[in-house]
A and B are shown apart, each in its own frame.
Chain A
Amino acid sequence: MAETTKPIPRVTPELAPFFEAGKHGQLVVQKCESCGTLRFPPRPLCSRCLSPHAVWTPVSGRGEVYSFNVMHQVYHPGFAPEIPLAVVVIKLEEGAKMLSNLVGIKPHEIKCGMPVEVVFERLSDEVTLPKFRPVR
């Protein structure tokens, strides 16, 4: 394989449950066991109530495009074939937000508020990355 591949995230202890769930096609985020606030990316404490106790909880994978940009500069050669590439912020219907990409849609067709659902892209044996597609 001669082409330069996109960066594959490292499976840190903090993110291991997220990638493990992804392997099985499930989207999970952290949930504070004390006040129930959802959060992503993971943090050691709940920034609302400061409880250190959290579990990873499945979410529906449905949400909407909260905002997006369209990258025109190549910062990493692995993305060169995909430029212009839209990076989106998804607001999950449960409330948490996460950064992602959309599949099955051109950057200039994306609109804020557009309903989306999760799909998974397998990058390696360890890492399966959640992405989103428009709900038709």
Chain B
Amino acid sequence: MSLRAKCAIAGLGMTKMGKNYDHPNATGFAIEAIQLALADAGLERSDIDGLLVNPGITWMDNPMLSVALQQAMGLENLRLTALMQLGGATAAAMVMHAAQSIAAGMANVVACVFADAPLRPPAPKTEKGSNGGGSAAAYGFARGLDAAYGQFGVNAEYALVARRHMHLYGTTNDHLGEIAVAQRAWANLNPQAQFYGHPMNMADYHSSRWVVEPFHLYDCCLVSNGAVCVIVTSAERAKDLNQPPVYILGMGQGHPGGEVMDTLTSGAPLAKQTAFRMAEVELKDIDLCQFYDCYTFTVLVTLEDYGFCRKGEGGAFVEGGRIAPQGVLPVNTGGGELSSFYMWGMTPLSEGVIQIRGEGGKRQVPKHDLCLVSGNGGVLVTHSTLVLGSKP
């Protein structure tokens, strides 16, 4: 039995992103996003019978988090719940789990939510030093012997993989900068983006400080407080709700194992195979892409791994504004994690929903019937693919 177009995304809820201190913790943001998604879909709290939760970096302390969130939100009689954690691949994986469950008759309306709150309000001026929040505090951990060598944080791990790619294939910071500049241009068409109103050119990219070479500041994603919720239901039910259904045409995952630095390849080829077969589409059919972009480099590898170009040719592919507004392949049309907001896999997924519905405003892509959405977790170790469509 194919699950092609059996289910749809019927609701999208997004809190304000970035330096948003409306709630003291991720739970508050999560509940707000779920309420927004219900209102968007035209559903009631009591309609929810499935709750899937992907906790961000500051929300990982409770191994039974989805039950805690159920209690906090007063949800009753759930038929499905789980905490899911594949890093940035989780958002799409939650949609898959929801769609499978709905198609199997095990649930009807499933809320999939991500929330995080790594940023703290500015400290009073009398206090000196850091307020303890932000990227370095949340993502600057070291494993095993790494700390003894000064290797801290996810940035440093990705930097090692990016450098290897540069060595083998001649990829340069100009190539990475093309991606950063393209996405910033998209963000400046998106009033919700954290970098809206902050244009950036190639000179700005090159003069931004090094975080960890070969990554400049603008090679690295933002850090955001907030939450995103999508509501998945059957395609039949979605037709009767407020929004045009965003049909889930294809779904797949790929987790290659082994040493990433040896292959420089993500799980995209494996995930794509499953998802494209289900969706009955080929790469040339895709109108636009929303790719997981924790780093510019991640976008480059993802373009290669889906087959838009050959391995090692991602740098040449993005030259000349090919993925920028007015380029031939629209990628990360809201500005992505680099320039809009960082809600892990919900950043590409939410923009995919917005574009398929045609709600992108100034950034709306004219042809938006088939959108490829990717999720990626760890250092290219988990991958998820969704093919979303405007028609069943």
Q: Give chain A's interface residues, CB within 8 Å of chain B.
A: 6-9, 15, 41, 66-73, 75-76, 79, 82, 84-85, 87, 89, 97, 99-101, 107, 112-113, 123, 129
Please name 9 further chain A to chain B contacts, defined as beta carbons within 8 Å, in addition to the given A66-B164, A69-B213, A73-B140, sorted by A numbering: A9-B145, A9-B147, A67-B160, A71-B156, A72-B211, A76-B152, A82-B150, A84-B210, A87-B150
Question: Is the CB–CB distance between A69 and B163 below 8 Å?
Answer: yes
Q: A9-B145, A112-B164 are in contact. Are A87 and B209 (CB under 8 A)?
A: no
Question: Is the CB–CB distance between A70 and B210 below 8 Å?
Answer: yes
Q: A9-B145, A67-B163 are in contact. Are A72 and B150 (CB under 8 A)?
A: no
CA distance A72 to B145 in the complex (A): 19
- List 9 A–B pairs whose Cβ atoms lie within 8 Å, in order of A's numbering: A66-B164, A69-B213, A72-B210, A72-B211, A75-B136, A76-B152, A100-B149, A101-B149, A112-B164
Question: Is the CB–CB distance between B163 and A71 below 8 Å?
Answer: no
Q: Which residues of A contact B144 (CB under 8 A)?
A: 41
Select from chain B the residue with minimum beta-carbon distance to A89.
Answer: B160
Select from chain B the residue with minimum beta-carbon distance to A78.
Answer: B150
Option from B145, B152, B209, B261 in Cβ contact (under 8 Å) with A71: B152
- Top-5 shortest CB links A-B: A75-B152, A69-B159, A112-B167, A70-B213, A67-B164
CA distance A9 to B153 in the complex (A): 17
Select from chain B the residue with minimum beta-carbon distance to A79.
Answer: B150
Q: Is B3 an interface residue (CB 8 A)?
A: no
The minimal Cβ–Cβ distance linking B132 to chain A, given in whole angstroms, is: 14
Q: Give chain B's interface residues, CB within 8 Å of chain A.
A: 136, 140, 142, 144-153, 155-156, 159-161, 163-164, 167, 209-214, 259, 261
Question: Is the CB–CB distance between B212 and A99 below 8 Å?
Answer: no
CA distance A9 to B142 in the complex (A): 11
Select from chain A the residue with minimum beta-carbon distance to B161.
Answer: A67
The minimal Cβ–Cβ distance linking A21 to chain B, given in whole angstroms, is: 14
Question: Is the CB–CB distance between A87 and B148 below 8 Å?
Answer: no
Q: Which residues of A contact B214 (CB under 8 A)?
A: 69
Select from chain A the residue with minimum beta-carbon distance to B166.
Answer: A112
Select from chain B the residue with minimum beta-carbon distance to A72.
Answer: B210
Q: Which residues of A contact B210 (CB under 8 A)?
A: 70, 72, 84
CA distance A70 to B215 in the complex (A): 9
Question: Is the CB–CB distance between A87 and B211 below 8 Å?
Answer: no
Question: Is the CB–CB distance between A68 and B152 below 8 Å?
Answer: no
Option from A8, A66, A84 in Cβ contact (under 8 Å) with B148: A8
Question: Is the CB–CB distance between B213 and A72 below 8 Å?
Answer: yes
The minimal Cβ–Cβ distance linking A40 to chain B, given in whole angstroms, is: 9
The minimal Cβ–Cβ distance linking B98 to chain A, given in whole angstroms, is: 33
Select from chain A the residue with minimum beta-carbon distance to B151.
Answer: A87
CA distance A105 to B144 in the complex (A): 25
Question: Is the CB–CB distance between B145 and A67 below 8 Å?
Answer: no
Question: Is the CB–CB distance between A76 and B147 below 8 Å?
Answer: yes
Option from A69, A84, A99, A112 in Cβ contact (under 8 Å) with B145: A99
Question: Is the CB–CB distance between B160 and A76 below 8 Å?
Answer: no
- Max chain B CB contacts within 10 Å: which of A67, A85, A107? A67
Question: Is the CB–CB distance between A7 and B148 below 8 Å?
Answer: yes
The minimal Cβ–Cβ distance linking A116 to chain B, given in whole angstroms, is: 14
CA distance A31 to B155 in the complex (A): 31
Q: A75-B152, A82-B150, A101-B150 are in contact. Are A89 and B167 (CB under 8 A)?
A: no
Select from chain A the residue with minimum beta-carbon distance to B164.
Answer: A67
Q: Which residues of B contact A101 (CB under 8 A)?
A: 149-150
CA distance A99 to B322 in the complex (A): 36
Q: A69-B163, A73-B136, A89-B261 are in contact. Are A6 and B213 (CB under 8 A)?
A: no
Q: Which residues of B contact A72 (CB under 8 A)?
A: 209-213
Q: A66-B164, A75-B153 are in contact. Are A99 and B146 (CB under 8 A)?
A: yes
CA distance A123 to B145 in the complex (A): 13
Q: A71-B150, A75-B140, A87-B156 are in contact. Are A41 and B145 (CB under 8 A)?
A: yes
Q: Which residues of A contact B163 (CB under 8 A)?
A: 67-69, 112
Question: Is the CB–CB distance between A69 and B153 below 8 Å?
Answer: no
Q: Which residues of A contact B156 (CB under 8 A)?
A: 69, 71, 87
CA distance A97 to B260 in the complex (A): 13
Question: Is the CB–CB distance between B160 and A87 below 8 Å?
Answer: yes
Q: Which residues of B contact A67 (CB under 8 A)?
A: 160-161, 163-164, 167, 261
CA distance A121 to B147 in the complex (A): 15
